[in-house]
A and B are shown apart, each in its own frame.
Chain A
Amino acid sequence: MPDDPVAAVAGALGDSVLERVEFRGEVTLSVSAEHLLGALREAQAAGFIFLTDLTAIDRHPAEPRFEVVYLLTAPDARARLRVKVQVSGTDPRVPSATAVWPGANWLEREVFDLFGIRFDGHPDLRRILMPDEWEGHPLRKDFPLVEEPVQFLGHTPNVPSDIIPKTPPRQS
């Protein structure tokens, strides 16, 4: 077991790490989609045995639009590592991590359901939270947040109140 598994993974991956960000003591390594599974296996071998979380971020309207985020935990070394892969907004696809961690199965289904990102090699990529016949992917930024139409006569859907408007970042 290496002393600093984060450095060990970063070292083993070498040039395939596109970007290394450290914020509040948390390290994020960005890799390309073709190096993703290799990076995850490398991390698993270095002690990151838990796939704690798998999720995505929508950067709409920026391109590449999506980031798929893998949060890994090494319980023995008490370390965490985030691996990111950027995905284009047109036909977003990532290789599935289910071969590395079977627990990725539901997590990837959730990302597919809510973001519409497809995972190549996933054994059973179906919606998991939303109804099967649902249209669209709710966590995308261009999916509007409005009240769902209800089957009652005389009911008009409301737009949620916007009491505190969004303000841009402060210049410091």
Chain B
Amino acid sequence: MSDLTRETLVINMGPQHPSTHGVLRLILDLEGEVIAGSEAVIGYLHTGFEKEMETRTYHQNIVFPPRIEYLATFIEEQAYVTAVEKLLGITPPKRAEVIRVVLAELSRIASHLVWLGTSAIDLNVSSVFMYCFRDREEVLDIFEMVSGQRMMHGYFRIGGLQWDLPDGFVERVRGFLDGFPGRIDEYEALLTDNLIWRQRTEGVAVLTPDDAIRYGCTGPILRGSGVDYDVRRAFPYGGYAEYEFDVPLGTRGDAFDRYRIRMEEMRQSRRIALQALQRLPGGPVMVDDRKVALPPRRELVRSMEAVIHQFKLVSEGIHPPAGEVYAAVESPRGEKGYYLVSDGSNRPVRVRVRAPSFSNLQVLPVLIFRRYVADVVVAIASIDIVLGDVDR
């Protein structure tokens, strides 16, 4: 028996294991059931988005962000258009900003629900998965109502939004948000005081604050270790400085803390979305700048200038000034940033996607070192990676 425990066994998890939340391959060195070393192998979902974006105009590139990270689609679009707007030096109208905040916070709720459901399935609580997807479906229906698409919306535009909200939007969102706290309470009742859930997550996949910072972790995994860094607070964008919300922090940095933080973040997202609905101003949803936004259709029959602007924007696109900017948003997984380099032409020289999942996944070997194989599943679930975001 003693020989068995000393021998190192190399096994592969994935690339298609259900608990890897995508196409991730994990190489584990096992001593018995204890992990002596591990390596995450990524790239199975690499699609070359950054290269593609260099070859298209700024407006055409709006289609890519929600495909990079397909669980928090509006937050992705927000990250990209915020970066281009910073490059252009423009701010969208107030109404557009507030609508973006509502949709971004609903996206956060939808993304955390997917995380909760799939994590619960990893730990064999399959009923929670059904409930979470039921709620997420309601959010996606709202998205469809606004943009026509459940996921790959293309609704955010450089300088504003594609069109104004449909009738009945505010009531529908309120209807969802009113019933939402009761549902979170139900899920917490199923999990927080569940002995098996607690034993599987408490003290598992522990990350110290120092390691979290040195590895560049962001999002719930960083805040779970007690480091107070939320992009919405530290570098407010899109009017987030005007909203009241709490940033929940963990103390022990384990999987249970991350679970508690995400549950609380859903409640805070609801709080922000309700404040946004409360203050939703009237007015246009697109910036009034003919070098950025298409002229309204009714002007085209009256004004030659409008026709020229329309023609130039459609045939060439926007020409931002030469320079480089980095704009980040707080995605459900952490700091999502776009680094744009422009030479003044109608296409970016470089589009770099700062992916939170990439940095967060890198810390996985630290989380599972000297732990049991069963904890690997908990660790992966608690990081909440999206492989599309890791590989881009």
Contacts and interface: CB of A to CB of B under 8 A. Distances in A.
B144 to A, nearest CB: 28
B235 A78 contact: yes
A168 B349 CA distance: 12
Contact of A53 (B229, B317, B324, B339): B339
Interface in A124-144: 127-131, 138-139, 143
B337 A52 contact: yes
Interface in B50-79: 50-52, 55-57, 60
Contact of B319 (A24, A69, A73, A169): A169
B214 A75 contact: no
A71 B55 CA distance: 24
Contacts of A169: 319, 322, 343-345
Nearest to A127: B43
A166 B347 CA distance: 7
A28 B341 CA distance: 13
Interface in B332-358: 335, 337, 339, 341, 343-347, 349-350, 352, 354, 358
Interface stretch (A10-18, A33-41, A88-96, A98-106): A98-106
A145 B341 CA distance: 19
A23 B214 contact: no
A26 B326 CA distance: 8
B315 interface: yes
Interface in B226-278: 227-229, 234-235
A164 B215 contact: no
A138 B50 CA distance: 10
B350 A105 contact: no
Nearest to B47: A129
B46 interface: yes
A2 B28 CA distance: 44
A158 interface: no
A82 B216 CA distance: 15
Interface string A138-156: 1100010100000000000
Contact of A24 (B55, B60, B87): B87
B57 to A, nearest CB: 5
A52 B51 contact: no
A65 interface: no
B315 A128 contact: no
Given A26-B325, A51-B216, A52-B354, A129 B391 contact: yes
A164 B346 contact: yes
Output the residue of A52, A59, A110, A131 with the most chain B CB within 10 A: A52
A94 B55 CA distance: 27
A103 B325 contact: no
A59 B325 CA distance: 17
A130 B323 contact: no
B346 A166 contact: yes
A80 interface: yes
A75 B234 contact: yes
B89 interface: yes
Interface string B360-380: 001100000000000000000
B48 interface: yes
A8 interface: no
Given A26-B326, A164-B317, A169-B319, A105 B216 contact: no
Contacts of A58: 350
A110 B51 CA distance: 14
A139 B228 CA distance: 35
B335 A52 contact: yes
B42 A23 contact: no
Contacts of B186: none
B290 interface: no
Contact of A128 (B42, B86, B317): B42
Contacts of A107: 216, 358-359
B7 interface: no
B57 A164 contact: yes
A73 B87 CA distance: 19
26 contacts: A28-B324, A50-B213, A50-B229, A52-B337, A53-B326, A57-B350, A69-B339, A80-B235, A82-B326, A101-B216, A102-B214, A102-B215, A103-B215, A103-B359, A103-B362, A107-B358, A107-B359, A114-B50, A129-B391, A145-B51, A164-B315, A164-B317, A166-B345, A167-B345, A167-B346, A169-B344
Given A107-B359, A160-B55, A166-B346, 12 more contacts: A23-B325, A50-B216, A53-B352, A57-B350, A59-B349, A106-B362, A129-B392, A138-B48, A145-B51, A164-B56, A164-B315, A164-B316
Interface of A: 23-24, 26, 28, 49-53, 55, 57-59, 69, 71, 73, 75, 78, 80, 82, 101-103, 105-107, 110, 114, 127-131, 138-139, 143, 145, 160, 164, 166-170
Enumerate the 6 nearest inter-chain pairs by beta-carbon distance, A residue then B residue, closest first.
Answer: A169-B344, A103-B216, A103-B215, A129-B43, A23-B323, A129-B46
